[in-house]
Amino acid sequence: MRKISLFVVFTFIIILSVSSFSLVIQPFGVFGNVSLVRHDLTALIKVVPFAEFELGQNILTLSNINALLNEEEFVIDKTALSNALENGLKFTFPVSLGTYVDLRLGGLRLIPYTRVDGNLFLSLPSTLGELLVGDTLINDKHSDSYSGFMSGGFIANGGLALILGDFYVAGNAYAPILFIDPMQTTIDVSYTSSASPAYAELNASARIKGYSRISLVDLMHGRVNSLINDLSNIDDCGISLEIGYGNDMLGFAIRNITIRPAKAWYSVEAGGNGNAKYTAEGTNITTDATYSFSEPIFARLSKPIEIVAPIQLTAYLKNDGFIMWGIMGSYWLPYNSQENNNWLNGNWAVKGYAGLNLGSARAYYMLGYNQINYAHTIGIGANLFIFNADLKLTATTNTILPSDNSTPGIGIALTFSGGL
């Protein structure tokens, strides 16, 4: 009995020490490549829930955020605004969450999964920012209209991936939860000023329109039965393929190769208006600003529109040795729907990491960058064969070194797995 116990302990230690388990790159996350599932040492079956989101912006500093949360005086930071004016006011919110099952049948792996992916991307042009907070233009009039200042959305996916060796292919059914139509998402701006009397006025109105396969009213009120009925019609779901290659060092994947577009039966529209005035007479200066937001308008369409998920390219290069390191990239190709709408037009992100891999545990630091911000991430992971976990905590900022003038954001990624 003692010999058997020692053998079991020794075998367990060997398993831990030779493990190359790596979920630093999440197989179904923003940079996902399903080939990475091969690294989890599954003998028969594992269930893996995961969640990942990240918020980035270049508009508000930490003191601005604290003032808004505590209803205090809002003070504009000139340095932060000057950086935002140069690059345009921007905001991003990528999300990926779901569950997959890893079933190993000899040299073949079956990976059924469900997940929700998406990103909301706001980008106001620099010319608009200059009118809002730039130098006052005297005796000048200006009017313009911008479309596509917000894009993106969230898509529900379900499918099955097959991994054979270093290659995989996945069949995927998808339905849009929210799709922002860039061509019907507009902002109109007018500006006028005079020197005598000293006067300036800025007016802006914005309109955002989106589509969904499900009733967003039912979603907000938690009407599960109605949501299930909406999603039960398979003919309204889109069909796509995903293919990829990956080994212990490098890999790449092409995601969302559409075979059949999804149909959206519901629309939502919201808007807002803002007005700012400045007058001066002698030493008397008067400023006034007002704004209002309209209630969202929800409607069911008489005829559905077709939604095509944007093609995503991902790639990684990594080393899972004692000193672990890797780089990964993601790019969403520009896309045109039946309505010739652009969605996630050329959005991209890249990250690199380095750390220590002890087999049963690992710790690493990750630095990322996209069109808006840098992302500083601390990650830890544990591998106990039947139980694995990986946690990443992220702080984003518009400057590589955070300061009082930086615009912060947060992110988190959490993955668990259990099985044999």
How high is the pLDDT of residue 50?
95
Q: Output phi, psi for 267, to 5 deg.
A: -130, 155
**Using CA atoms, how far apart are residues 255 and 375, in angstroms rounded to an integer?**
24
- Full DSSP string of 313-362: EEEEEEE-SSEEEEEEEEEEPP---TT----STT-EEEEEEEEEE-SSEE
Are 418 and 385 contacting, i.e. CB atoms less than 8 angstroms apart? no
Please tell me what DSSP assigns to residue 283.
Answer: T
How high is the pLDDT of residue 229?
82
Are 79 and 59 contacting, i.e. CB atoms less than 8 angstroms apart? no
Q: How big is the chain by its Cα radius of gyration, in Å?
A: 25
- For residue 292, CA distances in Å to 60, 68, 71, 208, 276 come to 20, 17, 18, 14, 12
How high is the pLDDT of residue 147?
80
**Using CA atoms, how far apart are residues 381 and 359, in angstroms rounded to an integer?**
10
Are 343 and 153 contacting, i.e. CB atoms less than 8 angstroms apart? yes
- Compute CA 198 distance to the chain's CA centroid, rounded to the nearest angstrom: 45
pLDDT by residue (tens digit) across 140-184?
A: 777 778 788 888 889 999 999 999 999 999 999 999 999 988 888
Are 129 and 187 contacting, i.e. CB atoms less than 8 angstroms apart? no
Are 420 and 44 contacting, i.e. CB atoms less than 8 angstroms apart? yes
How high is the pLDDT of residue 325?
96
- Reduced to 3 states, what is the DSSP secondary structure of residue 48? strand
How high is the pLDDT of residue 347?
78
Residues (pLDDT < 50) of the chain are: 1, 10-20, 336-344
- Compute CA 45 distance to the chain's CA centroid, rounded to the nearest angstrom: 29
Which residue's structure tokens are 């007018």?
190
**Using CA atoms, how far apart are residues 307 and 120, in angstroms rounded to an integer?**
16
Cβ atoms within 10 Å of 8's Cβ, excluding its own? 10
How high is the pLDDT of residue 82?
66
- Rounded (10°) angle between helices 78-87 and 126-133: 150
Cβ atoms within 10 Å of 2's Cβ, excluding its own? 6
How high is the pLDDT of residue 17?
38
Token pair of 48 as six digits: 């893996």
Token pair of 92 as six digits: 């991003």
How high is the pLDDT of residue 379?
96
**Using CA atoms, how far apart are residues 98 and 222, in angstroms rounded to an integer?**
19
With CA atoms as reference, report the closest residue to 370 among 7, 123, 140.
Answer: 123
**Using CA atoms, how far apart are residues 185 and 323, in angstroms rounded to an integer?**
47
Cβ atoms within 10 Å of 407's Cβ, excluding its own? 27
- For residue 339, CA distances in Å to 94, 331, 335, 336 come to 24, 23, 11, 7
With CA atoms as reference, report the closest residue to 326 among 243, 250, 377, 396.
Answer: 250
How high is the pLDDT of residue 85?
63
